[in-house]
Amino acid sequence: MELFVNQVLAGLATGAIYACMALAVVMIYQAIDSLNFAQGEMAMFSTFIAWQLLQWGMPYWAAFFFTVGISFVAGVLIERVVFKPVQKADILSHIVIFIALFAIINSGAGYIWDFNIKPFPSPFGTRELFGQRLISSHDAGMIGISILMLILLYLFFAYTRVGLAMRAAAANPESARLAGIRVGWMLALGWGMAAAIGAVAGMLIAPRVFLEPNMMLSILLYGFAGAVVGGLTSPLGAVIGGVSVGVVENLAGTFIPYVGRELKLTIALALIVAVLTVKPTGLFGRTVETRV
Partner 1 sequence: MTARNEPLSVPIIASVGAVVIVLLPYWKQILLAFAVAVAIVLAFTLKNFYLFQLTLALIYALAILGLNLLTGYNGQFSLGHSAFFAIGAYTAAILMEQGNVPYYWTLPVAGFVCLVSGYLFGLPALRLEGIYLALATFALALAMPQLLKFTPLEHWTGGVQGIVLLKPEAPFGLNISSDQWLWLFTVGVSVVMYVCAYQLIKSRTGRAMMAIRDNPIAAKSMGIDLSLYKSLTFGVSALYTGVAGALAAIVIAFVAPDSFTLVLAIGLFVGMVVGGAASIVGTLIGGLFVLYVPNVAEYFTKGLSGAMYGLILIGTIYLMPSGAAGLFRLTLHRLITRLASR
Interface with partner 1 by CB under 8 A: which residues? 34-35, 82, 85-86, 88-93, 95-97, 99-104, 106-108, 110-111, 221, 224-225, 228, 232, 258, 262-263, 265-266, 269-270, 272-273, 276-277, 280, 292
Q: Which is nearer to partner 1, 94 or 138 (CB)?
A: 94
| Between 164 and 269, CB nearer to partner 1 | 269
Q: How far is C-alpha 29 from the chain's CA centre?
A: 11
Q: 115 or 154: whose CB is closer to partner 1?
A: 115
Q: How far is the CB of 198 from partner 1 (least distance, A)?
A: 18
Shortest Å distance, C-beta 228 to partner 1:
6
Cβ of residue 265: shortest distance to partner 1, in angstroms? Answer: 6
CA 239-243-244 angle, to 5 degrees, is 115
Smallest gap from Cβ 275 to partner 1, in A, equals 10
Select 8 or 269, whichever has its Cβ closest to partner 1.
Answer: 269
Between 91 and 178, CB nearer to partner 1: 91
CB of 32 to partner 1, least distance (A): 11
